[in-house]
Structure 1
Amino acid sequence: MAELARLLKESWSLVDEQQDRMAAYFYARMFTIDPKLRDMFPVAMDVQRSRLLGAIVTAIQTLEDPERFAEYLGSLGRDHRKFSVQPEHYETVGRSLIDALRAYGADQWSLEYDQAWRDAYDVIARVMITGAAEDRGPAYWYAQVLTHERRGLDTAVFTCRPIEPLPYRAGQYVSIECGYRPKAWRAYSMANAPRDDQTMEFHVKALGAGWVSGALVRRLRPGDMIRLAAPMGSMTLDRGSDRDIVLVAGGTGLAPLKAIIDDLATTNRTRWVQLFYGARTRDDLYDLPALARLAEHHPWLTLIPTVSHDPAYPGETGLLSDALDRHGPWQNHDFYISGSPAMVSATRHALTRLQVPSSRIRHDAFGRD
């Protein structure tokens, strides 16, 4: 397995700087082989292409960790039920992927690389197909929007209730599709632990001309119906640990960490929790009043708001990684990180510098628009 992982990483380096073009080639090749597959996808494919690449990179990174590899790909297989993916589609996908890799690997591509990807894809497809086949839940859940609150120009918090119970764990996420953007699914984390009344809270920031996020912030209304795919993600509470906890949230990355706090509220008696909540300006700390109430209600929770582009802010300023440097020590804490890919990467680097073992750091990486 180690040799296979080496060949995959080595060959991926040949196409790494051409990811966007390679992904476009992959989808064009797939739709040429089987034109009917085009109907499964939205008109705008930019985010879909980036999600493909993210899934490939994650699969490569987890290959040498069998448990994580199986969990991730099994979840991915269950998630793909929302597209009505059938086992026979995996052959077309695999053929198209290897054709794209071969095309962009060009003269440096070798038969050894080709075989490594065939072997790896066979395992990936088998685990995903098994994950989908073993899932006894629906392919997706319909949910009705109950409340929708704008928090500034580009952020909204909304709640919904699935028509049928949707089991999940605090810290996980689901893909959401709304009627304003058919066939376009984007991943968002639940901001609460499972509740008896089945309600779920989501935090969404409209990113530029975001295809789905813009619709969820600006057009979604109470009474609307949305669809939720199977829950995914492994950034859940480690109940076997008795270490104190540090939560590091950037922007709407707050949502899954707020769910973890919600989860701890019913069981925690001994673990101190510090929440570093970062944004560009004080106005971007959209959920600060609710968090302040939580900190007041739970003595074990300490809130540390941080802004990066507001020098006059009376509290912590700079990047979240800077704020972590000013606190600590952190060697005996569990960390949960959620935010943009850049923020997660910077925080992980800071924690490595501060000698926090990687085994105590949890985060999920998924794309939003």
Structure 2
Amino acid sequence: MDAPTTESAGNGADGDSGAWGWFTPSPAKSPEKPTDSTEPVESSGTAESAAEQAVPPTAPRTTPQAAPRAAGRTATLPPRREVPAAAGPVPESALEASVRTQRPAAAEASADALLIRRTMAEIEPVAEQVTSYFYALLFVRYPDLRQLFPVSMDEQRDRLFKALLTAAQRVDDDASLTEFLAHLGRGHRKYGTLPEHYPAVGECLLGALARYATLSWDGEAEAAWIRAYTKISQIMIDAAAEDEATAPAWWDAEVVAHELRTSDIAIVTVRPDQPYPFLAGQYTSVETPWWPRVWRHYSFACAPRSDGLLSFHVKAVPAGWVSGALVHRARPGDVIRLGPPGGSMTVDHTTDNGLLCLGGGTGIAPIKALVEDVAEHGRRRPVEVFYGARSDHDLYDIDTMLRLEHAHPWLSVRPVISSGPTGGVYRSISGRLPDAVREYGPWGEYDAYVSGPPGMIRSGVDALVGVGVPSDRIRHDAVEELVAAGE
């Protein structure tokens, strides 16, 4: 997944007829027969508990044209935060500082962007309460929407807040915001989200912000968020409508092979029920029949194949619903669901640049797919793979990678073991993956690819930049999405 940048966005949405336009998404841009959608998965029991407490009819409203609420609410709201009598300006938070430093010095933030970021800075310390309150409002005012979400809500809260942070960081960046939200809009189809659901979400989002951003929330801030949400929702609705014309909301895929490589790692091969277009280096979301509406992201472990089969490397993690099911329960004949492909960690075949690939743990899966992709294109360009693991036991796919190295003289595979002996693996290196990369450079003329746990991606990117690889030639899945997925 990627985070491109571009020029700053305007304050309103295209075709917006007024401040409250987001309550009525443009019919001309909406699908005639909308299907499903909602990108974040799973969320916390805290939100569910708050919803069960209910919201009284006298709760303050921030949206004059909102739909009628559900009846029968009797419990009380969480107490509103007190506002100091002489509240001064809200100091810049770590969030604001990071957003500011990520933008070019010459680009000035718009008035709406500044208002939105101040709101985000204020609610950042109370993110858990804000997201719990948001879901409480949503499920009480619109109980029919509860069916779109998984039974457990533990991760949904975290995913929502991370999505808000990401949107806040890109509010002045039209192309980046559109790419990010269009991907979400297409992916949300598999959850059953319809255009008419967006006003309800926006209403409850504003309600939660108004309750907790007591220092920075006023008429101007509210209007800025309304304009931003109008734009956000319309981009997602339009992307879903366009995607519906060419692709299903999801693909059913039959498990045709299940190979347990270690006690907690399996290679799962599936056959989709219809053609599944993707590129080597991309990923998809997976739902199992044992945990409906719970989706997790997994990279493809192969380049596109003539037989249409797809492979994934899955490691079961503690409390991992999807990963545990795929590793320990799935068997040939079972049917899982796949969402649309995503991510831009793909090979640029218009250049002859070498490829420098860092794969840690099951992060070797997309690296293997990239090697296959280069081989299929038939261009002899150098590919250097550093395969990192804690011990030689964790190098579960080293034999496959060494066979590829033997078949392709342009490929070099270096196993890197961070702890324990290295004698059991051919040409293995002892130490940390970033240190090995620094030792074997220079890499200034290579395109770099990093795949693995979030911590490894961060350290790997730092190492690559440190040895002279330009940051615009380093590709990896978005760290925030990996953290949100949890598996």
TM-score scaled by structure 1? 0.93
Asked if 1:357 corresponds to 2:470, the answer is yes
Question: Which whole-Å CA distance do the structure 2 matches of 1:233 and 1:261 have between them?
Answer: 17
Gaps of 5+ in 1: none
Q: Which moved more, 1:358-367 or 1:90-99?
A: 90-99
The structure 2 residue matched to 1:114, chosen from 218, 222, 227, is 222
Partner of 1:347: 460
Letter in 2 for 1:105: A
Question: Which whole-Å CA distance do the structure 1 matches of 2:166 and 2:435 have between them?
Answer: 27
Partner of 1:84: 192
Q: Per-residue deviation at 1:345?
A: 1.6
Partner of 2:430: 317
Question: Which whole-Å CA distance do the structure 2 matches of 1:134 and 1:40 have between them?
Answer: 22
Question: Which whole-Å CA distance do the structure 2 matches of 1:48 and 1:66 have between them?
Answer: 26
Letter in 1 for 2:464: L
Question: Which whole-Å CA distance do the structure 1 matches of 2:455 and 2:446 have between them?
Answer: 22
Bigger radius of gyration: 2
User: What's the CA shift string for 1:297-324, capped at 9, x where partnerless?
Assistant: 11111112112232x2243233322222
User: What's the CA shift string for 1:150-207, capped at 9, x where partnerless?
Assistant: 1212111110000111111111111111111111111111111111111000111111
Question: Which whole-Å CA distance do the structure 1 matches of 2:234 and 2:464 have between them?
Answer: 36
Letter in 2 for 1:30: L
Cα 1:221–1:332 shift into 2, 3 Å: same
SS of corresponding position for 1:167 = coil
- 8 Å CA contact 1:187, 1:368 repeated in 2: no
Q: Per-residue deviation at 1:260?
A: 1.4
Q: Which moved more, 1:48-57 or 1:58-67?
A: 58-67
Q: Per-residue deviation at 1:108?
A: 4.1
Cα 1:29–1:327 shift into 2, 3 Å: farther
Question: Which whole-Å CA distance do the structure 1 matches of 2:221 and 2:434 have between them?
Answer: 38
- State the number of aligned residues: 368
Partner of 2:384: 274
Partner of 2:349: 239
Partner of 1:47: 155
The structure 2 residue matched to 1:302, chosen from 387, 404, 412, is 412
Question: Which whole-Å CA distance do the structure 2 matches of 1:66 and 1:321 have between them?
Answer: 34
- 8 Å CA contact 1:188, 1:368 repeated in 2: no
Letter in 2 for 1:317: S
- 8 Å CA contact 2:120, 2:168 repeated in 1: no
Where in structure 1 do 4 or more consecutive aligned residues deviate above 6 Å? Answer: none
- 8 Å CA contact 1:145, 1:161 repeated in 2: yes
The structure 2 residue matched to 1:160, chosen from 270, 277, 289, is 270
Higher helix share: 1
Question: Which whole-Å CA distance do the structure 1 matches of 2:474 and 2:379 have between them?
Answer: 22
User: What's the CA shift string for 1:66-117, capped at 9, x where partnerless?
Assistant: 3343222212111101111111111111222233334343324454443333
Gaps of 5+ in 2: 1-7, 9-108
The structure 1 residue matched to 2:397, chosen from 269, 277, 287, is 287
SS of corresponding position for 2:277 = coil
Question: Which whole-Å CA distance do the structure 1 matches of 2:341 and 2:454 have between them?
Answer: 20
Cα 1:348–1:218 shift into 2, 3 Å: same
Q: Per-residue deviation at 1:132?
A: 0.3
Equivalences for residues 57-72 of structure 1 within 5 A:
57-72=165-180
The higher relative CO (CA closer than 8 Å, separation ≥ 6) is in 2
Partner of 1:16: 124
Equivalences for residues 99-110 of structure 1 within 5 A:
99-110=207-218
Asked if 1:132 corresponds to 2:245, the answer is no
SS of corresponding position for 1:46 = coil
Question: Which whole-Å CA distance do the structure 1 matches of 2:451 and 2:343 have between them?
Answer: 12
Q: Per-residue deviation at 1:63?
A: 4.4
Partner of 1:333: 446
Letter in 1 for 2:371: I
Q: Per-residue deviation at 1:278?
A: 1.3
- 8 Å CA contact 1:172, 1:232 repeated in 2: yes
Q: Per-residue deviation at 1:137?
A: 0.9
Q: Per-residue deviation at 1:134?
A: 0.4
Q: Which moved more, 1:353-362 or 1:12-21?
A: 12-21
Q: Which moved more, 1:238-247 or 1:283-292?
A: 238-247
- 8 Å CA contact 1:280, 1:309 repeated in 2: yes
Q: Per-residue deviation at 1:128?
A: 0.8
Letter in 1 for 2:174: P
Question: Which whole-Å CA distance do the structure 2 matches of 1:73 and 1:90 have between them?
Answer: 13
TM-score scaled by structure 2? 0.71
Letter in 1 for 2:377: T
- 8 Å CA contact 2:118, 2:216 repeated in 1: no
Letter in 2 for 1:78: R
Letter in 1 for 2:466: R
Q: Which moved more, 1:267-276 or 1:167-176?
A: 267-276
Question: Which whole-Å CA distance do the structure 2 matches of 1:131 and 1:319 have between them?
Answer: 42
User: What's the CA shift string for 1:197-219, capped at 9, x where partnerless?
Assistant: 11000111111111111111111
Question: Which whole-Å CA distance do the structure 2 matches of 1:259 and 1:61 have between them?
Answer: 31
SS of corresponding position for 2:175 = helix
Question: Which whole-Å CA distance do the structure 2 matches of 1:5 and 1:272 have between them?
Answer: 44
Q: Which moved more, 1:212-221 or 1:26-35?
A: 26-35
- 8 Å CA contact 2:451, 2:476 repeated in 1: yes
Q: Per-residue deviation at 1:37?
A: 0.9
Question: Which whole-Å CA distance do the structure 2 matches of 1:9 and 1:272 have between them?
Answer: 44
Asked if 1:223 corresponds to 2:333, the answer is yes
